[in-house]
Amino acid sequence: MSGGIVIVGGGFAGFWAALAAKRVGGEALEVTVVSRDPVLQIRPRLYEANPASLAVDLLGPLGQAGVRFVRGHATTLDLEARTVGLADGDRVAYHRLVVATGSCLRRPPIPGADQAWSIDTLDEAVAFDHRLIEIARTAAEPVVAILGAGFTGIELALELRDRIAQHGGDALADRTRIVVLERAAAVGPELGPGPRPTIEAALAAARIECRLGTTVRALALDQVVLTDGSALRADAVVLTTGMVAAPFVDQIPGDRDALGRILVERSLRAPRAAGVFVAGDAAAADVGDGHLTLQSCQQALQLGRFAGENAARDVLGLATLAYAQPRYVTCLDLGRSGAVLTHGHDRAVVQTGADAKRVKRAINTSIIYPPAATSREVLLAASSTELGAQLRGPLGGR
């Protein structure tokens, strides 16, 4: 196969990189997406009930935009030959490459961690949902243990009782014990002190048991063994222990951060790999004010737009653009307590409760989804300025 621009990865960054590249290059530039499945997993929502519904077809919008799709698992990268090798032995050639292979769960190096449940991918979230159905049918007093009180752990914990009620009724949900174990001394350690009182109040209202400053020695399908020798019986043990860059990016030479992400230039170019741009959770980029990007859907959308546009500009001999994030917001779902919305990297709280929940719903059900529109509108949505416009709507134009 021959290629102009090849994007490896069909997540948020990869999808928008493809559309942005096609918007700039038009008919003169072939753009190809390589991904294992022709669907976009709505990963930020996998803590919710009915995760099987959280996959969106990619072939429609990519086809409207004139982007080719190659179904395959990218395994190797030959920087000299400029080819990507697939698991089936095929190879895809490129002039410019955008690596948007995302992130994966960081399973802790403790015995039994490979047996624990996860909601990191669609398949894993669906499997865990089936386990919840089984628990609702068989357990008199269910216990669910969640390892990690970060963003995902908090959202999952505050959704679980309603998910148990969906399958087993309110009485069973009321008897369910939900335990969050966190080795840090506070919940949401990466979220900072700003939203913490609101998060703590929501956890208390939902009767979530938080064991802070707790370390785990081993896991099993039915228990968590702590380093003090005590054990917690559990009908399900779920890992929400953070993310690292997916392993494909290991083949790109360059400096990395603690999450395994490539430290990229402001154009999102990999400094030591000619013709390679990196986007999404695989990239550590300066947002324009000295802060590095976070592994978040919000920033993946913008990283993809810039990486795709710059790859196309590079091929066409045009000047590349310096990546910038229009704004940074955090909106954390707090279940029955609504949500908490913050602005900026210091996460100053601007909304809580039902008002913040409406913003969360707008983000989760509209803003992060691919456009269902004509080919022209699909391509216009890939502009690097469009994300800012989308965010201004539910946030009141601020």
Same domain, 269 and 222: no
Instruction: Provide the token pair at 45.
Output: 């929502």
With b meaning 16 or more CB within 10 Å and e meaning fewer, what string describes 179-188?
bbbbbeebbb
Closest alpha carbon to 300 in 13, 33, 58:
13
Q: How far apart are CA 127 and CA 84, in angstroms?
A: 31
Q: Are strands 83-86 and 91-93 parallel, antiparallel or unpaired?
A: antiparallel
Instruction: Mark whether 119 and 228 lie in a shared domain.
Output: yes
Indicate if 118 and 229 belong to the same structural domain.
yes
Which pLDDT score, from 0 to 100, does residue 389 have? Answer: 47
Same domain, 200 and 180: yes
Regarding whether 234 and 119 lie in a shared domain, the answer is: yes
Residue 373 lies in a domain: no
Q: CA-to-CA distance for 186 and 192, rounded, in angstroms?
A: 9
- Angle, helix 151-168 to helix 196-205, in steps of 10 degrees: 20
- Which of 174, 206, 239 is the last residue in one of the domains? 239
Long-range contacts of 316-324 (CB under 8 A, 24+ apart): 316/24, 316/25, 316/28, 316/29, 318/24, 320/267, 320/269, 321/267, 321/384, 322/266, 322/267, 322/288, 323/266, 323/267, 323/268, 323/285, 323/286, 323/287, 323/288, 324/287, 324/288
Q: Cα angle at 64 between 61 and 66, to 5 degrees?
A: 110
Pair 153, 335: CB distance under 8 Å? no
CATH code where residue 78 lies: 3.50.50.60
Please indicate, yes or no, if residue 358 is contained in any of the structural domains. Answer: no
Sign, CA torsion 387/388/392/395: positive
Q: Which pLDDT score is estimated for 398?
A: 29
273, part of any domain: yes
- Residue 290: per-residue pLDDT: 87
DSSP secondary structure letter of residue 53: G
Residue 262 and residue 191 share a domain: no
Is-contact 182 214, C-beta < 8 A?
yes
What confidence score (pLDDT) does residue 373 get? 64
Contact 82, 275 (CB under 8 A): yes
* Residue 45 near residue 56 (C-beta atoms within 8 A): no
Backbone angles phi, psi at 359, to 5 degrees: -65, -45
State the pLDDT at residue 386.
57
Of 239, 269, 284, the residue at which a domain comes to its end is 239
The residue range of the domain holding 301 is 5-105+243-327
Residue 372 has a pLDDT of: 75
Number of domains into which the chain is organized: 2
Whether residues 233 and 153 fall in one domain: yes
**Do residues 46 and 126 lie in contact, with contact meaning Cβ atoms separated by under 8 Å?**
no
pLDDT-flagged residues of the chain (< 70): 1-3, 373-380, 384-398
How far CA 104 is from CA of 135, 238, 337, in Å, comes to 26, 15, 29
Residue 29 lies inside a defined structural domain of this protein: yes
Residues 38, 93 within the same domain? yes
Domain C-terminal end among 304, 327, 350: 327
Is residue 148 left, alpha or beta, with left meaning phi > 0 and alpha meaning psi from -120 to 50?
left
- For residue 322, being part of any structural domain is answered with yes
